[in-house]
């Protein structure tokens, strides 16, 4: 395994000592508090689990602007996206030096973290525009990430945090939600040194499965980390519990024992394409993975990014900024000529008609009608789980 990003040792911000955590929770009840945004809550979960190593909390405006414009903090730490606690109204914590952060995603808004307030700064419209343009490559409000980023407020509360809760992730996804340090521990127990990570916010069809296998064999890895996003998605994306069941079934039936870890992490999707691909690499380095699979339109949405923008960004980041290596993948699909899944770039003699290609719309339509996609596209056991979901949600 490789060392974490920015430090020799992982520094998760979750308070693991039960007595200390109980004392902090009691203190938090007497502190000024604020209900934070879902994005800020997800940032707290990621800080707590070590995924955002070596950050100690939420960025101030100078760091957020520097990260957006140059992919590094004012002090020179490589980082691809701002990590902010932004609110619409900070009057409830005015002049407070220490505050409690309340979870927006759990009934009753329980306290999930304590923050030391270093600064409360207003972000100007011009600064919001710069950050949006640099991180998302567009300011189009129809972009789901742009919309989310620009509607939570413009007051940034910076400072270090102590995390007391992993929100709903630890309770709703028992056995799947894992922190970066838990993943490191599991991989160490398995004796894995070289590990390929696969990021997904969708169920995995046969092409995804084979892509993991291709990367595993190419880099001669000891194991594969299938790492699914469990946080907020855009409308129309398949819920995490359904995705989890489908992926677990595929891994159980079609991968060799002890070659795959199926896990998830608590973050809200940014849909930021290239910048988010780099953030995904940071997460996986902090998990100990040596390689990350980056495919076509990784972390993209709509037509905002070119098909390989999320790969070429790794060619322009500073040498040594990350230790993790990128496995650059092309689109994978079933070849009728070769009777197997192939990477399209590897078969220049093929035409479009030589592949079995189905659009997302077509697949959803088939599943909603109780029709399984062809076995060359999806494992029947996976299709069954997805059919049950779509049919139960038909209007």
Answer yes or no: are the C-beta atoms of 140 and 200 closer than 8 Å. Answer: no
Q: How far is CA 255 from CA 2, 161, 252, 343, in A?
A: 24, 40, 6, 19
Give the mean pLDDT of 191-197: 97
Q: How far is CA 252 from CA 60, 246, 261, in A?
A: 44, 10, 10
**CATH class name, domain 174-265+273-392:** alpha beta
Which DSSP letter does residue 22 get? H
Give the mean pLDDT of 364-386: 90
Helices (H), the chain: 18-29, 38-48, 61-70, 125-136, 144-149, 169-172, 180-190, 206-218, 240-254, 274-287, 309-312, 360-368, 380-392
| pLDDT tens for each residue of 96-112 | 999 999 999 999 999 99
Task: Give the pLDDT score at 296.
Answer: 87
- Kindly tell me if the per-residue pLDDT of 172 is higher than 60: yes
Among 21, 201, 248, 364, the one annotated catalytic: 201
Contacts of residue 187, defined as CB under 8 A and 6 or more positions apart, other chains included, come to 1, 195, 223, 225, 261, 287, 288
Let me know if 202 is a catalytic residue: yes
State the number of CA atoms in the 13 A half-sphere of 186 facing the CB. Answer: 21
Split at pLDDT 50, 70, 90, the class of 391 is: confident
- For the chain, the domains span 18-167, 174-265+273-392
18-167 topology per CATH: Sulfate adenylyltransferase (3.10.400)
Token pair 């997904």 in the structure block, residue: 200
Task: Give the pLDDT score at 252.
Answer: 93
The CA dihedral of 194, 199, 203, 206, to the nearest 10 degrees, is -50
85: nearest Cα among 123, 129, 127: 123
Contacts of residue 307, defined as CB under 8 A and 6 or more positions apart, other chains included, come to 296, 297, 331
> Mean pLDDT score of the chain, rounded to an integer?
94
Split at pLDDT 50, 70, 90, the class of 222 is: very high
Contacts of residue 222, defined as CB under 8 A and 6 or more positions apart, other chains included, come to 190, 191, 192, 193, 194, 195
CA distance 286 to 385: 32
Report the share of the chain in percent with pLDDT over 70. Answer: 99
- Kindly tell me if the per-residue pLDDT of 394 is higher than 70: no
Split at pLDDT 50, 70, 90, the class of 353 is: very high
| pLDDT tens for each residue of 113-147 | 999 999 999 999 999 999 999 999 999 999 999 99
- How are the residues of the chain apportioned to helix, strand and coil, as percentages rounded to the nearest 5? 35, 20, 45
| pLDDT tens for each residue of 287-321 | 999 999 999 888 989 899 999 999 999 999 999 99
Among 202, 248, 275, 286, the one annotated catalytic: 202
Task: Give the pLDDT score at 360.
Answer: 78
CA distance 377 to 357: 8
80: nearest Cα among 328, 300, 316: 316
Which DSSP letter does residue 123 get? P
CA–CA–CA angle 128, 129, 135 (5° rounding) = 90
- Kindly tell me if the per-residue pLDDT of 246 is higher than 90: yes
Task: Give the pLDDT score at 238.
Answer: 82
258-278 in b/e form (b: 16+ CB < 10 A) is ebbbbbbbbbbbbbbbbbbbb
Contacts of residue 21, defined as CB under 8 A and 6 or more positions apart, other chains included, come to 15, 164
| pLDDT tens for each residue of 7-49 | 999 999 999 999 999 999 999 999 999 999 999 999 999 999 9
pTM of the model: 0.93
Answer yes or no: are the C-beta atoms of 331 and 298 closer than 8 Å. Answer: no
Let me know if 53 is a catalytic residue: no
- Kindly tell me if the per-residue pLDDT of 365 is higher than 90: no
Residue 112: enclosing H or E segment and its boundaries? strand 111-116
Split at pLDDT 50, 70, 90, the class of 241 is: confident
210 or 393: whose pLDDT is higher?
A: 210
| pLDDT tens for each residue of 144-169 | 999 999 999 999 999 999 999 999 99
């Amino acid at each position: 395994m490789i060392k974490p990003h920015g430090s020799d040792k992982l520094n998760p911000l979750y308070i693991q000592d039960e007595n200390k955590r109980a004392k902090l929770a009691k203190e938090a009840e007497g502190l000024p508090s604020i209900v934070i945004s879902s994005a800020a809550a997800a940032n707290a979960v990621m800080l707590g689990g070590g995924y955002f190593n070596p950050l100690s909390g939420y960025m101030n405006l100078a760091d957020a602007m520097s990260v957006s414009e140059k992919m590094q903090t004012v002090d020179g730490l490589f980082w691809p996206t701002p990590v902010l606690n932004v609110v619409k109204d900070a009057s409830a914590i005015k002049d407070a030096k220490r505050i409690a952060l309340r979870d927006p995603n759990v009934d009753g808004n329980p306290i999930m973290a304590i923050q030391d307030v270093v600064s409360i700064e207003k972000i100007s419209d011009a600064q919001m525009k710069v950050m949006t343009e640099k991180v998302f490559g567009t300011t189009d409000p129809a972009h789901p990430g742009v919309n989310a980023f620009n509607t939570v407020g413009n007051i940034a509360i910076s400072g270090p945090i102590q995390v007391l809760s992993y929100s709903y992730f630890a309770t709703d996804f028992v056995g799947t939600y894992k922190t970066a340090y838990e993943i490191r521990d599991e991989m160490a127990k398995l004796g894995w040194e070289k590990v390929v990570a696969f990021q997904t916010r969708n169920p995995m069809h046969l092409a995804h499965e084979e892509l993991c296998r291709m990367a595993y064999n190419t880099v001669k890895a000891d194991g594969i980390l299938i790492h699914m996003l469990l946080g907020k998605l855009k409308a129309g994306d398949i819920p995490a519990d359904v995705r989890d069941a489908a992926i677990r079934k595929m891994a159980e039936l079609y991968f060799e024992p002890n070659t795959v870890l199926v896990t998830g992490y608590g973050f809200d999707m940014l849909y930021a394409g290239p910048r988010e691909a780099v953030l995904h690499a940071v997460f996986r380095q902090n998990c100990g993975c040596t390689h990350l699979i980056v495919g076509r339109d990784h972390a993209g949405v709509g037509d905002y990014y070119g098909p390989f923008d999320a790969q070429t960004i790794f060619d322009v980041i500073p040498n040594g900024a990350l230790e993790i290596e990128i496995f650059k993948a092309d689109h994978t699909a079933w070849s009728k000529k070769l009777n197997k899944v192939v990477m399209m770039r590897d078969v220049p003699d093929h035409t479009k008609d030589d592949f079995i290609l189905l659009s997302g719309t077509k697949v959803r339509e088939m599943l909603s009608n109780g029709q399984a996609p062809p076995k060359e596209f999806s494992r029947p056991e996976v299709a069954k789980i997805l059919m049950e979901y779509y049919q139960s949600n038909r209007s």
